[in-house]
Amino acid sequence: MYGYIGSLKAKPGHRDEVVSLLLRGAEGLRAHGCESYVVATSNSDDDTIWVTEVWQSEQHHAASLELPETRKTIAEAMPLLTGEFTKQETSVAGGLGV
């Protein structure tokens, strides 16, 4: 399984709006090979959002980025973001809930 741990930073005051956008359609990802998708806000600053994902494969994740609903979400979220991102790609070994 492929794992993705990313952070993105919202412009001041727009964090919760971005979180709502990211959560829209989360349940639908399962049909596209997503095993887990968690959206969270940082406890240490007011603007950082963390997204952690587990997919059946890297290809499933890549394909999901091309879905019309994903592209729409990205297009809506981008103007609300500062452009500061971090990203970690992993190989998921196992755990609880995956």
| Residue ranges that bind a copy of itself, judged by CB under 8 A | 3, 5, 7, 19, 23, 26-27, 29-30, 34-44, 50, 52, 54, 88-98
CB of 61 to a copy of itself, least distance (A): 12
**SS3 category, 8:** strand
d(CA 79, CA 75): 8
Q: At closest approach, how far in Å is the CB of 90 from a copy of itself?
A: 4
Identity of the residue numbered 40: A
CB neighbours of residue 7 within 10 Å: 16
Q: CB 53 → a copy of itself: shortest distance, Å?
A: 9
